[in-house]
Amino acid sequence: MSVSRETIMNFSETLNLIDLRLKKAFGVWGLEVGFKNVSEGLLPFLIFLFSDKKPSPMVIVCNDHSLRISLFEIINHFFKERCLSFIKSNHLEEISGSDLHAISRFKKNNNSILVCSEKSFSFLKSKFFSSQKNEEVFLSSYKTRRELIDLLISLNMDLSDKVFSPGFYSVRGSVVDFFLFGDKHPVRVEFDIDRIFSVRSFDTETQTQVSVLKPEEVRLEKPISSKNFNKKGVGFFYKSLLVKKDLSGGVSVSLYDQTPKIEYDVACINHSGFKKNTSLLKPLVDLKKGEGVNKFVLCFNPELSYKTKSVVFSSFDSSNVKLINSFSSSVLGLFFLKLSDVFEVPEISAVEKSVSKFSGGFLNTFQWKSLVVHENLGVGVYKGLSRVKSGFSVVECVVLEYKHGDKVHVPLENLHFLDEYIGPKNRDNITDLRKTSWEKEKFRAKKSAGEIVDSFVEMYGKRTNESGVAFEKDGELYDELKKSFKYTETKDQLVAYQEIKKDMEKKLP
């Protein structure tokens, strides 16, 4: 049954379609089989199906550089940050921080996919991927700030003013931030004397809270380093796929370092060249129907649906999945076509992650438990960030604590009401929301400010009614003094000079 143009298949539906066609053609298959003559367009879906058949992380070994890049980009298109890349391109033992982060992240997440060359994979197997696992230590084991800092130092982490990337930590009073290799977000720990008061992850760009964490769930371990492994690994425990590309452009997929029991031929053919001559498409569709293809899928951005009204696309169902290239397989009975292979239209793009419009710079002026003034509420204690459910949405807020433990969650969009408290850092100055003291203080402050303004108005009024001594205009002595000045005045200096000169020549006191 054909899918209407208004109904667009998503990724999971498209993956399910390919899975059903593979089972129909070859029966139920497992990790012991291989596939050949695979199109690059079909390849990511095969990788996902292989990945679903195993619980641990997967390594994709591929010597074709451009194909590695394509796989890295498209896997992360479907699953943001799931695919990692190990680059190491030289023979030296030292590897980059980004590679260390990729390896650590890979080992910490069961659904990770790591892409690398065969040479890099051999290096990884001998140095990092062994059956030896680091001893697990959790944040709850460290009771004081000093103990945690000593641990971070022992992990060879670098001290920094702010934490923006893995391998760094910072200390601000009772707050310790650190970003371990392999973690998605840095962690912020606040201590209250000799106990952990709060733990939360935060965004490096906005410095805002991502999630609240429990100390017993935050795992700390020594970062992976080639120096930690002087001996070769004693056992490789990750399943790996070998992806090979032949001279004709066909791709084969099988388990690495293991001859498949059977290699299935999916007989994929790549298709392109429709932009210069779209009339080629209809004869090709008719030809494919004659070869047994009975499922035609057009992949495009939904907002470009007006481009698909042509009769040439009448046989196609719609999908919003991104393809590396268009392809067909008579064995699977499938024809996948990218709209961007027919028209000059943009490739399908991933949905961009929304970023808070508030930068972390303003929030960074508030130290944990510092005094903050809210224009309408008074002086409170800054207690970090929170997320408050409002209807069907979640609002990110700043938490202020007042007397009696009363807390107020101020939405980030109202940050303009907040300012740093510049008076005496005395806890007695914290406002009591259960009284009207703040309104009275504001009234007194406004009244006092008004009295000061009135006194200035009165003073300047008297000044204009009195006479003083006016200095003479510039003369010969002034000209000689001016010539003796060997420096060139700036524009601001000249303006200041003219203003002072005018005031001195007036009779006002």
Tell which wins on pLDDT, 354 or 119: 119
In the chain the first and final C-alpha atoms are separated, in Å, by 96
Given strand 8-9, what is the order of strands in its sheet? 8-9, 316-319, 295-299, 334-338, 326-329, 268-271
Q: CB-based burial of residue 208 (10 Å sphere; 0-12 exposed, 13-18 middle, 19+ buried)?
A: buried
Tell which wins on pLDDT, 426 or 317: 317
Q: What is the pLDDT of residues 79-137, one digit of tens each?
A: 877 777 776 545 555 566 677 777 777 777 777 888 888 888 887 776 665 545 556 67
Phi, psi of 386, rounded to the nearest 5 degrees: -145, 165
> Is residue 171 very low, low, confident or very high in pLDDT (cuts 50, 70, 90)?
very high
- Flag whether 156 is in a domain: yes
Do residue 470 and residue 428 come from a single domain?
A: no
Q: What is the pLDDT of residue 96?
A: 64
> Do 35 and 46 form a contact (C-beta atoms < 8 A)?
yes
Do residue 482 and residue 429 come from a single domain?
A: no
State the Cα–Cα distance between residues 150 and 173, nearest whole angstrom. Answer: 15
- 243-254 mean pLDDT: 87
- CATH number of the domain enclosing 180: 3.30.2060.10
Tell which wins on pLDDT, 130 or 56: 56
Count up the domains in the chain and report the number: 3
The DSSP H or E segment spanning 69 is helix 65-78
Q: What is the pLDDT of residue 298?
A: 94
Distances (CA, A) of 55 to 34, 111, 215, 230, 294: 19, 7, 27, 29, 34
- 136-140 mean pLDDT: 80
Do residue 472 and residue 429 come from a single domain?
A: no
Q: What is the pLDDT of residues 428-470, one digit of tens each?
A: 889 999 888 888 888 788 778 777 877 777 777 777 777 767 7
Q: How many CB atoms lie within 10 A of CB 168?
A: 20
**Domain limits for position 204:** 137-223
Q: Is 116 helix (H, G, I), strand (E, B) or coil?
A: strand
The DSSP H or E segment spanning 386 is strand 378-390
As a residue count, the chain comes to: 509
Phi, psi of 499, rounded to the nearest 5 degrees: -65, -45
Q: What is the pLDDT of residue 293?
A: 95
The DSSP H or E segment spanning 481 is helix 476-484
Phi, psi of 89, rounded to the nearest 5 degrees: -110, 5
Which domain-ending residue is among 192, 223, 254? 223
Q: What is the pLDDT of residue 26?
A: 94
Tell which wins on pLDDT, 199 or 96: 199
What tokens appear for 13 in the block? 């539906």
Question: What is the gyration radius of the CA atoms in the chain, in angstroms?
Answer: 34
Residue 173: half-sphere exposure toward Cβ, Cα within 13 Å? 8
Q: How many CB atoms lie within 10 A of CB 437?
A: 13
State the Cα–Cα distance between residues 183 and 219, nearest whole angstrom. Answer: 10
- Flag whether 398 is in a domain: yes
- 209-228 mean pLDDT: 72
Residue 235 has pLDDT above 60, yes or no: no
State the Cα–Cα distance between residues 85 and 117, nearest whole angstrom. Answer: 10
Do residue 210 and residue 147 come from a single domain?
A: yes
- Flag whether 407 is in a domain: yes
Residue 486 has pLDDT above 60, yes or no: yes
Which domain-ending residue is among 410, 434, 458? 434
Do residue 152 and residue 219 come from a single domain?
A: yes
- Flag whether 182 is in a domain: yes
As a whole-number percent, the residues of the chain with pLDDT over 90 amount to 24
Residue 195 has pLDDT above 60, yes or no: yes
Instruction: Supply the pTM of this predicted model.
Output: 0.56
Q: What is the pLDDT of residue 231?
A: 42
What angle, 0 to 180 degrees and rounded to 10, lies between the N-to-C axes of helices 65-78 and 43-52?
A: 60
Residue 316 has pLDDT above 80, yes or no: yes
Q: Among 52-66, 126-140, 345-359, 389-403, which is the least confidently predicted range?
A: 345-359
Q: How many CB atoms lie within 10 A of CB 244?
A: 17
> Is residue 427 very low, low, confident or very high in pLDDT (cuts 50, 70, 90)?
confident
> Is residue 253 very low, low, confident or very high in pLDDT (cuts 50, 70, 90)?
very high
Q: What is the pLDDT of residue 130?
A: 53
State the Cα–Cα distance between residues 37 and 65, nearest whole angstrom. Answer: 19
CA diameter of the chain: 109
Q: CB-based burial of residue 337 (10 Å sphere; 0-12 exposed, 13-18 middle, 19+ buried)?
A: buried
Residue 413: half-sphere exposure toward Cβ, Cα within 13 Å? 1
Q: What is the pLDDT of residues 271-303, one digit of tens each?
A: 988 887 888 899 999 999 999 999 999 999 888
- Flag whether 478 is in a domain: yes
- CATH number of the domain enclosing 387: 2.40.10.170
Rounded mean pLDDT of the chain? 81
- 236-242 mean pLDDT: 69
Do residue 217 and residue 141 come from a single domain?
A: yes
Do residue 141 and residue 216 come from a single domain?
A: yes
Instruction: Let me know the angle formed at the C-alpha of 376 by 374 and 380, rounded to the nearest 5 degrees.
Output: 35
State the Cα–Cα distance between residues 233 and 103, nearest whole angstrom. Answer: 15
* CA-based nearest residue to 269, from 247, 243, 251: 251
The residue type of 313 is F
- Flag whether 505 is in a domain: yes
Do residue 430 and residue 473 come from a single domain?
A: no
State the Cα–Cα distance between residues 321 and 298, nearest whole angstrom. Answer: 9
- Flag whether 476 is in a domain: yes
Tell which wins on pLDDT, 333 or 129: 333
Residue 227 has pLDDT above 50, yes or no: no
What tokens appear for 253 in the block? 């997929």
**DSSP calls for 177-199:** EEE-TT-SS-EEEEEETTEEEEE
What tokens appear for 9 in the block? 């298949």
According to the 3-state scheme, what is the secondary structure of 318-381?
EECCCCCCEEEECCCCEEEEEHHHCCCCCCCCCCCCCCCCCCHHHHCCCCCCCEEEECCCEEEE
- Flag whether 11 is in a domain: no
Q: What is the pLDDT of residue 153?
A: 87
Which domain-ending residue is among 223, 258, 292? 223
Q: What is the pLDDT of residues 5-50, one digit of tens each?
A: 557 888 889 999 999 999 999 998 888 899 999 999 999 999 999 8
